[in-house]
């Protein structure tokens, strides 16, 4: 684990006064963690510095060819004011898998975890206290070579920035309408769908614009080969509730292996629900919504938490899930998951790292 130098910010910003208006990812704290990599040298110059712009050459490889990866995790404030992380080790493990898929240098996870803890300690007053708020943590690693050849980079920058956040969706837990995308695809077999890399999100923007114009909150992606099977939503994995059985698309290489998804699968078993991971044809799913066999649907993600779906729209037809409200299973899972995250409930899987 490398030594981390700290340069305190001499001009700290005013903290947000009204935590009900935080939104998602709009404000950033006073410091950031940086770590650089050079081929032959390895990771070096781990440091915490005042938050601010980073310098990049216009020929920077990340800007042209998208060799970038990122993560998203949260620090939660307990009722006793202490702070805790949820499954941070799993995020860094996924980052290592993303780095491998994108042909990037292997992460220095021990130093980054130490850097994250020191960074949060320095900016601890930025962790909001209001119900449902948290400190969103965004680690990212980008190729820094100033060269236009398409090769793996020899220089990388890793950084962590922090953002106090409220709900990802403006309506909070209120159920959302989702547009089932039947023209564009997000990821293909053998592609980069299971890596948390910028290109997957770039591929989603145009469909997102279309969905928003039509009044939908998010896009549900179908598989990129046959456009027949349900994959995931823009920023979350998707679950369908059939009475006391939860079903979710099985991981196939083009779906992001969500940490919230995994948590829901593990919690379901403890809650007496059966959890099934399987290939799910969109036609069957829509038929099961129409017949009432599917009683609830929800998205699961770090930013989105548990996010109930009101209706899916496919080729001009709207399929309302149940009565369009928040289902009992979704609510129980939300309460159980957030109970662990905020330290209100026991942590049977040792997912929590207490910071203070």
Determine if 299 is a binding residue for ligand COI (CB under 6 A): no
Site string for ligand COI, 166-205 (x = CB under 6 A): ----------------------------------------
Asked if residues 71 and 33 have their Cβ atoms less than 8 Å apart, the reply is: no
Site string for ligand PLP, 214-253 (x = CB under 6 A): ------------------x--xxx----------------
- The residue ranges of DSSP E strands in the chain, in sequence order, are 5-6, 31-38, 42-50, 68-70, 73-77, 83-86, 134-143, 155-165, 176-180, 218-222, 230-233, 237-242, 245-249, 274-278, 296-301, 305-314, 317-320, 352-354
- Residue closer to ligand COI (CB basis): 200 or 313: 200
Of these partners, ligand PLP, ligand COI, none, which one is at the site of residue 4 (CB under 5 to 8 Å by kind)? none
Determine if 12 is a binding residue for ligand COI (CB under 6 A): no
The two tokens of residue 342 are 């905020």
Taking the C-alpha atoms of residue 168 and residue 159, their distance in angstroms, rounded to an integer, is 22
- Residue closer to ligand COI (CB basis): 286 or 305: 305
Site string for ligand PLP, 49-78 (x = CB under 6 A): -----------------------x------
Residue nearest to ligand COI (CB): 72
Taking the C-alpha atoms of residue 65 and residue 62, their distance in angstroms, rounded to an integer, is 6
How far is CA 128 from each of CA 24, 35, 115, 163, 287, rounded to the nearest angstrom?
13, 27, 20, 10, 43
Shortest Å, Cβ 219 to ligand COI: 13
Determine if 235 is a binding residue for ligand COI (CB under 6 A): yes
Determine if 194 is a binding residue for ligand PLP (CB under 6 A): no
- Residue closer to ligand COI (CB basis): 142 or 289: 142
Determine if 198 is a binding residue for ligand PLP (CB under 6 A): no
Asked if residues 236 and 260 have their Cβ atoms less than 8 Å apart, the reply is: yes
Q: For residue 214, report the phi and psi dihedrals to the nearest 5 degrees.
A: -85, 0
The two tokens of residue 284 are 């069957």
Determine if 199 is a binding residue for ligand PLP (CB under 6 A): no
Shortest Å, Cβ 155 to ligand PLP: 26
- Residues forming contacts to ligand COI in the complex (CB under 6 A) are 72, 235, 301-303
């Amino acid at each position: 684990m490398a030594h981390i130098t700290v340069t305190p910010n001499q001009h700290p910003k005013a903290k947000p006064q009204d935590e009900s208006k935080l939104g998602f990812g709009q404000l950033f704290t006073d410091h950031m963690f940086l770590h650089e990599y050079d081929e032959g040298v390895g990771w070096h110059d781990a440091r915490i510095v005042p938050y601010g712009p980073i310098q990049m050459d216009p020929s920077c490889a990340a800007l042209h060819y998208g060799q970038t990866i990122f993560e998203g995790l949260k620090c939660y404030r307990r009722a006793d004011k202490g702070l805790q992380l949820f499954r941070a080790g799993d995020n860094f493990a996924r980052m290592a898998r993303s780095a491998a898929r994108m042909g990037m240098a292997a992460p220095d996870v021990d130093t980054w975890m130490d850097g994250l803890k020191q960074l949060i300690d320095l900016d601890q007053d930025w962790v909001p206290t209001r119900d449902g708020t948290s400190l969103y943590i965004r680690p990212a690693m980008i190729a820094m070579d100033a060269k236009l050849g398409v090769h793996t980079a020899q220089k990388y920058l890793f950084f962590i920035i922090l953002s106090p956040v409220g709900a990802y969706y403006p309506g909070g837990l209120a159920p959302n309408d989702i547009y089932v995308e039947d023209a564009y695809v997000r990821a293909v077999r053998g592609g980069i769908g299971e890596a948390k890399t910028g290109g997957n999100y770039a591929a989603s923007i145009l469909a997102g614009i279309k969905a928003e114009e039509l009044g939908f909150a998010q896009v549900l992606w179908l598989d990129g080969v046959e456009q027949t099977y349900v994959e995931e939503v823009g920023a979350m994995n998707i679950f369908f509730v059939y009475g006391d059985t939860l079903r979710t698309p099985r991981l196939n290489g083009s779906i992001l292996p969500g940490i919230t998804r995994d948590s829901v699968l593990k919690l379901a078993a403890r809650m007496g629900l059966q959890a099934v991971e399987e290939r799910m044809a969109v036609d069957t799913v829509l038929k099961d919504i129409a017949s009432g066999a599917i009683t609830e649907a929800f998205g699961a993600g770090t930013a989105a938490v548990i996010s109930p779906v009101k209706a899916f729209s496919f080729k001009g037809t709207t399929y309302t899930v149940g009565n369009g409200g928040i289902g009992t299973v979704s609510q129980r899972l939300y309460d159980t998951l957030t109970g662990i995250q905020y330290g209100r409930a026991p942590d049977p899987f040792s997912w929590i790292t207490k910071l203070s």
